[in-house]
Amino acid sequence: MEEIVTGEAVILDLPCARFPVRTLAHLIDMCLQGAALLIIAIIIVVAGSGLDDAAAGAVFITAFVVVLVGYPVAFETLSRGHTLGKLALGLRVVADDGGPVRFRQALVRGLAGVIELWLLIGIPALITSMLSARGKRLGDIFAGTFVLRERAPRAPATPYPVPVEPALVSWAASLDLSGLPDQLADTAASYLSRTGHMNVQARDRLGWQLAASIAVHVSPPPPPGLPPVTYLATVLAERRNRDLARLSAAAGPAPSVPPATLPPAAPAQAAAAAEPAPPPAGGFTPPI
């Protein structure tokens, strides 16, 4: 599983789609495109009896281009990287930086797909997919895209935030967090929840970037030599603790419930109530 860090510092931990599952999705799309071409051909034969052979051929070629190129381009552009085949198998086309696919990229993929998938029956796509780390075909290489598996199981997130270290309690208590944007804090929280599943280089690089961005809005500065992961975890833990304290103060003390008034019991009922009840089966006996 390869991690892609987008321009908004969002970490995508979804795996790249490989050739077998992409082939199955393409076969679904090919069946739909073939059915559309068959329907168009029947319409031309039935309704176009007045057309000569040249006109009928021109209409069919136009329909052929529209179906083979327009189908993937329109779907991938309007549905943010899906075709019906990809949607059925949980695949999505994205740009190399993890962003949504654009019309120009979808057009390049569609034009290249006619040659490598239809005319050359997918042989160039197989070769380049085996050589590419992200399973790219020629259209992906030219367009700067690749295909993700959206329905793949994700690794469990590391719980966050960790408690404040004793040596940092006094510094954390002095922090001014009023200028910290919520979006930046959420981004740091997402980063901390995935540090255990990131490679060291990506973790350190993104950690320093986030720590530098948060340090602009938080004062006083951290103690010298504090690692960025510890800095981010301490800031977010202190922010959470203050939010919980404010919520508890706003809620106020729990209202006292007066004891229920019971009617006087008969002597036999009072004697039965005075006897201790037997412990529930399969449970535990509370301490007396």
CA 57 to chain centroid: 46
Q: Distance of CA 93 to CAs 25, 108, 114, 224, Å?
A: 12, 13, 17, 44
Q: Distance of CA 262 to CAs 135, 255, 265, 271, Å?
A: 74, 21, 8, 15
Instruction: Give the per-residue pLDDT at 162.
Output: 57
Residue pair 92/147 in contact by the 8 Å Cβ criterion: yes
Q: Is the pLDDT of residue 121 over 80?
A: yes
In angstroms, rounded to a whole number, what is the distance separating the alpha carbons of residues 229 and 185? 13
pLDDT tens digits, residue range 55-94? 888 888 999 999 999 999 999 999 989 999 999 999 999 9
Strands (E), 81-219: 91-95, 145-149
Q: Distance of CA 52 to CAs 37, 226, 272, Å?
A: 20, 80, 103
φ/ψ region of 21 (left if φ > 0, alpha if ψ in -120 to 50, else beta) reads alpha
pLDDT-derived band at 259 (thresholds 50, 70, 90) equals low
Residue whose C-alpha is closest to residue 35's, from 57, 65, 66, 67: 67
Alpha helices in 175-225 (DSSP H): 182-192, 200-215
Average pLDDT value over all residues in the chain: 80
pLDDT, average across residues 150-175: 72
Q: Is the pLDDT of residue 124 over 70?
A: yes
- Ordered by start, the domain boundaries in the chain are 4-149, 166-247
Residue whose C-alpha is closest to residue 128's, from 85, 25, 71, 143: 143
In single-letter form, the type of residue at position 34 comes to G
Tokens representing 101?
A: 């696919």
pLDDT-derived band at 153 (thresholds 50, 70, 90) equals low
Q: Is the pLDDT of residue 269 over 50?
A: no
Residue whose C-alpha is closest to residue 188's, from 8, 2, 3, 18: 8
Residue whose C-alpha is closest to residue 90's, from 146, 134, 149, 135: 149
Q: Is the pLDDT of residue 161 over 60?
A: no
Q: Which helix (H) or strand (E) holds 4?
A: strand 4-5
Give the least confident one: 11-15, 49-53, 138-142, 241-245: 11-15
Give the least confident one: 16-30, 183-197, 226-240: 183-197
Residue pair 80/107 in contact by the 8 Å Cβ criterion: no
Residue whose C-alpha is closest to residue 190's, from 2, 1, 12, 7: 12
Residue pair 231/211 in contact by the 8 Å Cβ criterion: yes
